[in-house]
A and B are shown apart, each in its own frame.
Chain A
Amino acid sequence: AQSVSQHNHHVILSEAASLELGCNYSYGGTVNLFWYVQYPGQHLQLLLKYFSGDPLVKGIKGFEAEFIKSKFSFNLRKPSVQWSDTAEYFCAVRRIINNDMRFGAGTRLTVKP
């Protein structure tokens, strides 16, 4: 079945550690790719997005992601996490052909101070 896969369910890091969260999708065709973040008690907010062009995209709060088309991947990275990055992170894929958008199961990030 076509899907969006996030490899890590829960990641625990200490402050200043580097972060990489994996995301793979199985849809063919042209897609837009997103990472959303959900802080405790808040709604989903866009972290960054890829539409076209440079496969390395930069988002808010020092996050970046790299689209590797051959691997159907869109991994999220941050060189040095902060306690305030504690949140749930969701990868999403939007298929251009029918405009629908599907999400991965999410990765819970806990950053220890």
Chain B
Amino acid sequence: GAGVSQSPRYKVAKRGQDVALRCDPISGHVSLFWYQQALGQGPEFLTYFQNEAQLDKSGLPSDRFFAERPEGSVSTLKIQRTQQEDSAVYLCASSLVGGGTEAFFGQGTRLTVV
């Protein structure tokens, strides 16, 4: 597609519910990033993929968070047993790999846990 696409745009989950957030990167982009952006804050790094390999998951806040990119294209961020503190906008970005490349962002998924 023309840009990074994320779905759903909005998600309301009851506390304890599992959610899955989808990211369709720009075609051909090797790198894919997930970020969590709380209200009034900057994007906080969650995890990074290069093709299907998850090279860095140091930003995942707990073992309730899991991300995958099985075929090196679409990625899913899954949050199990959601808590209120998980409420945030989840951003996905993709880029070509290597120096000199910029990341392109999707619109984000706004997750509200009630």
Whole-angstrom distance between the Cβ of A75 and the nearest chain B Cβ? 17
Find out whether the CB atom of B41 lies under 8 angstroms from the CB atom of A106.
yes
Tell me whether B65 is interfacial, beta carbon within 8 Å. Answer: no
Q: Contacts A90-B42, A105-B42: A99 and B98 contacting too (C-beta < 8 A)?
A: yes
Tell me whether A84 is interfacial, beta carbon within 8 Å. Answer: no
Of the stretches B19-27, B48-56, B68-76, B79-87, the one at the interface is: B48-56
Tell me whether A67 is interfacial, beta carbon within 8 Å. Answer: no
Whole-angstrom distance between the Cβ of B44 and the nearest chain A Cβ? 8
- For the complex, count residues of A whose C-beta is within 8 A of B: 26
Picked from B45, B100, B108, the residue with its CB within 8 Å of the CB of A51 is: B100
Tell me whether B111 is interfacial, beta carbon within 8 Å. Answer: no
- How many angstroms from the CA of A46 to the CA of B42 in the assembled complex? 15
Find out whether the CB atom of A99 lies under 8 angstroms from the CB atom of B105.
no
Whole-angstrom distance between the Cβ of B23 and the nearest chain A Cβ? 13
CB interface residues, B 76-114, toward A, < 8 Å: 91, 93, 97-108
Picked from A44, A104, A105, the residue with its CB within 8 Å of the CB of B105 is: A44
Per-position contact with B for A35-60: 1 when CB-CB < 8 Å, else 0?
01000000111100101100000000
Find out whether the CB atom of B56 lies under 8 angstroms from the CB atom of A51.
no
Find out whether the CB atom of A46 lies under 8 angstroms from the CB atom of B102.
yes
Whole-angstrom distance between the Cβ of A54 and the nearest chain B Cβ? 14
A49 — which chain B residues lie within 8 A by C-beta? 102
- How many angstroms from the CA of A33 to the CA of B34 in the assembled complex? 19
- How many angstroms from the CA of A67 to the CA of B35 in the assembled complex? 25
**Most chain-A Cβ atoms within 10 A of its Cβ — which of B93, B98, B99, B107?**
B99
Whole-angstrom distance between the Cβ of A98 and the nearest chain B Cβ? 7
Please report B residues at the A interface, Cβ cutoff 8 Å: 31, 33, 35, 40-45, 48, 50, 55-56, 91, 93, 97-108
A sample of 27 cross-chain residue pairs with beta-carbon separation below 8 angstroms, ordered by A number, consists of: A6-B42, A30-B99, A32-B99, A34-B102, A34-B103, A36-B105, A43-B91, A43-B105, A44-B43, A46-B104, A51-B99, A52-B100, A90-B43, A98-B55, A99-B48, A99-B98, A100-B33, A100-B48, A100-B55, A101-B33, A101-B48, A101-B93, A103-B44, A104-B42, A105-B42, A106-B40, A108-B40
